[in-house]
Structure formats: structure tokens, C-alpha cells
Amino acid sequence: MKYKSLLIFGLLVLFVPLLSAQESFCWKKNLEESKVVVRAKVASVNGETVLATVTEAFAGKVKPKKNMQFTNNDNETVFKTGDEYFLFLREGVEKKSYRLPENASLPILNGNVFYNLLPEGKAYAHPSNALSEFLKVYYDGDLHLDYIDHLLDLVKIGAPLQEATENFMRLYYLNYAGFSDDYKTLLQNNEEQVSIAALYIVGNIQNDASRKILLDVLSGDFYPEMKKVAAKQIARDEAAMVLPLLSPLLQPENTAYEYEFTARCIFSAFVENEVKEIIPVMKDYLEKTDRNQNPNRTYLISTTDGLAHFASIEMNNYLHRSATEFFKSVDRDNFGIGTEDWGVAYMKVMEELPDMWNLQPYLYNFMTHFNGINSSFRNNPNMFREKKLKEDSLLTILKDVRPDFLPEGRWSVWAEINSNYDLVYYLPTYILDEEFGVELLVQILPEYMQQNYQCEVAFYSKNYYALFDSETCAGSQPLGYLINYLAKYAESKDVIFLMNLLQYGYAENDLDRDCLEKAIEKAEEAVGRVNHEIKR
């Protein structure tokens, strides 16, 4: 049966609010990777083992009215006897066994199923029989043509927007690619969800005309969600075909927000699709970026949507060289708005990738800008004591100046000293439960301190100095990342350094102290392993 022309809805909108970021059920993944898809009622539950009676079977070698067993690996789903579900099961460890991965089930409540066929967006109720119909068609190729024509009949001008959106997405999941060249006339204002759904179909076409639509969205004045979808769809196309077309949008000298956002959408989409041809483009973008002034580009090296995602010996070596180059270049004169973010991003990558080692001196010196620590503290532990004496002296002066502030918060100060233990820089901070930022404390500091030393005053909440942000001991502040790095690659002097951090109060709360103590234990184990290997 011949496809009908689909010249009904525009693809693009002039106003697109961001959709909900919550995405619990991945339709494309579950539809394509499931070995068994059924509608079933729970018969019994024994720990992670669930016995269910199949009421409808859509894919796999199972039959209605038969019992089947599977392992529940979804910690979010608690099965109860008598409840009915749509289940998207994968193969289990043993032969003829099945397992339910995370986010692969849809409960049936009063005859309805809650979901959204768009990859992102708020779930809402659908009749369970409608989902049964779609799944039956999806897994039976002989039914596709008639069903697609049926959907095209439903997509008409004036059709309810929710219904139109759902039907466009059903067409997308059935790999419909039936737009004619006349779709150029569809660049009109339309409801955002309908347009986004239609844009997904454009990605199925993969010809010059469809690429033109996707490029128009990426380069035009369209809202973020449209650009995200366009980037994801064009990343599915042949890299050799689309990367030259994207070159004008991937110029690192373009720092305006719209260019930054578009570039990130494109890079993230290609990384997500494992397109390795994007690697040299991202490397060039990184190397031409002033990392002291561009904090928004740290994703370029991340393990999620950056270069570190393509983990290999060659990539690890490249990132190691890039990190070394960055940390060697950092000093007080070129410490800009992006320096801290990039430093933390590199240290995070070092935590997550193997063989990112031998950067201790540069990482120590990076700490100078946050707490006055540098590599001298690793080689000369007496620096800790002398630094503490200077800080205690400064604290005494600060407390004497405004003792009436103390009930509301407390003073903190860190000092930077040189190898002769002379004070060269300090940063006093008044720590409050909540920031108030009204009174300029610098006006009440002793005049000789303002005149004789470079002086800044900061307003932070009491939690600002936390080194770690969770019970997993993940780094929060730069020093937290350094501690985790040293726990993996420590030498004997690094263990002593970590012990001095604990002794001199750099861990200010219970969580930080626990995490630092664990890091010391790991560092001691690392040193022990190295010494053992040397002796062997």
C-alpha cells in the first residue's frame, strides 16, 4: 500500500520551553533490545525472583496463559501478587532464563498505562489496549504498512496535539521515513511537542533534504530542546557526510551562548552515538580553547559526553598531556574565571581513568589558589606548622576587630607562605549559615593589613569548605579531588602530606574526616604495593 503524503504539521516552533528532564523509560532501547515482551500478571514473588502469568505475548518464545519466571534487577520496581505489567525482558545468565533491567516495566493501573513516547517529558495515562495494539504491530513486520497508513490518516490538521504527537512518535519507532521534498513548506509555527516528534522522523530519512532541515534548526534561532533533538538525529547519519556540514557551527572562537550551546549539543550527541570521527574535531576545539576563560567547555574532557568517553591507551595519554599542559600553565597572573572549573574537570577525569598519573607537583601547586598549599608542603612538612601559626595570628586580629560578628558566624583565613615561612598572601573569610553579602567586611579590617598585603574578603555558607560531597567520598572542592588522586597514586611523601591535612584541620566535618582517613588507608596500601613490587 502506498504511503500517503505527510504535509500536515510544521517541524519547528518559535517558542519551545524545556521539557522535563526526567526520563525513566527508554522506548527505543526497550523496543530494540528486549528478547521477550509481554503483558503479564504477577503470580508470586520470592526475593528477586518473580513468577508471572502471561496474558499477551508480543515478542519472544512465550505464550499467553503460560507462567514464566524472571529475575527483577530493577531496584525501583516492587512487584506485588495480582498486579499487571508490560514487561520488556532481556536474556538471563542461564539458558532460557530472563531478567528485568532497570526502567523496563510499565504497570497497568485501572486499565491505564502511564508513559510518554517522547524520549523526555512527563508521563500521562494511555489505555492499556492501545499499547497492546502498538506492540503487536511493532513486533510483526507484516502489519507495519497498514498500520503506518492508519497512523497517517490520524495525523490531520486540527487533530488533538497529544494524539498527533503520539502518532508521530509511533511512526518514528516504526522507522517511517516517508516525507517528500515538499516538507520544506512545513517550516511553520506549531505546537512544540508535535514539532519535536516530527523532527525525530526527519532523522530517519538521512538524505540531503533532511540534513538541511536539521542544520537549519541547529544554526537558526530555535530553542534548546529543538537543537538537542536535531543534534541527536543528525548524529545518527553517516559521519563523513554530516561532519563537514557541521564545521561552521564548531568554531571555538565563537563564544556567544547560542554557539556554545549548539556546539555542546552536537558534540554530546556524537559521543552518545559512539561516533569516533568526532574525536579530532573535539581535540581541535579543546586545543583552541582558552581554558582560563571558558568554564562552559569542561564537558569536552568528561567521561560522559567528552573525549574521556572514548577510553583507550592513546586517549588516556592525550588527556594526560593535556592535563599536564594545563596545570603547568596556571599561575596567579593567568588564573581566570574558568581555571578552577577546568582544574576540577581534569582531576575528576584522573579519578575515573586508569594511568592518569605523575602529575603530583602540578596538582599541589594548583591548590595554592584555594588554600595556600603547594608542592613545598609535600617535601617539607614543617610548612604546615608555620602556615598554621600565621593563620592563627591573623585570626586573632580579625576576631578582635569585630567580636560582635562571632554569634552569627565565624572567621576563617588561609595564608600562603614562601620557603622562608614569610607571609606573601592571605584570604580572610567570614563563614555564615546563609550568605548576606551586605556589609563590606574589608572596611573593618585593620588598615595595615589592607595596605601591606593583597587582601580579599569572601562571603560563603558554612558548607563551602566541605572537601567531599557525599558518602561515596567523591571530590567536591579541588583539595578533595587531589586527596582522591593521591589515594590512587601516592608515594611515601604523599601519605605524610595526607596525614598532615588531617592533623591540621583541613577536614572540617565528620564526612570529610572519614573520607580523608579512608584516602590515607588507600594511599598506604598503594605505597605498600609499590614497595613490595620493588623488593620483588
Instruction: Give the tens place of pLDDT for each residue, 190-201.
Output: 567 878 888 898
Cell numbers standing for residue 513: 574526616
Percent of the chain with pLDDT over 90: 59
**pLDDT over 70 (residue 386):** yes
Residue 211 phi, psi (nearest 5): -60, -35
**pLDDT over 80 (residue 78):** yes
- Contact call for residues 306 and 263 (beta carbons, < 8 A): no
Supply the DSSP symbol for 303: T
- Contact call for residues 192 and 15 (beta carbons, < 8 A): yes
Who has greater pLDDT, 220 or 444?
A: 220
**pLDDT over 90 (residue 353):** no
**pLDDT over 60 (residue 459):** no
Distances (CA, A) of 299 to 135, 306, 344: 38, 5, 12
- Contact call for residues 148 and 171 (beta carbons, < 8 A): yes
Question: Average pLDDT over the chain, rounded to whole?
Answer: 84
**pLDDT over 60 (residue 434):** no
Lowest mean pLDDT segment, chosen from 58-72, 221-235, 328-342, 343-357: 343-357
Local confidence band at 408 (pLDDT 50, 70, 90 cut-offs): low
pLDDT score of 5? 36
Residue 478 phi, psi (nearest 5): -50, -40
Other Cβ atoms closer than 10 A to 153: 10
**pLDDT over 70 (residue 107):** yes
pLDDT score of 153? 84
Q: What tens digit of pLDDT does each residue of 485-513 get?
A: 999 888 999 999 999 999 999 998 899 99
Local confidence band at 125 (pLDDT 50, 70, 90 cut-offs): very high
Lowest mean pLDDT segment, chosen from 33-42, 82-91, 389-398, 441-450: 441-450
pLDDT score of 488? 87
pLDDT mean over 220-243:
91
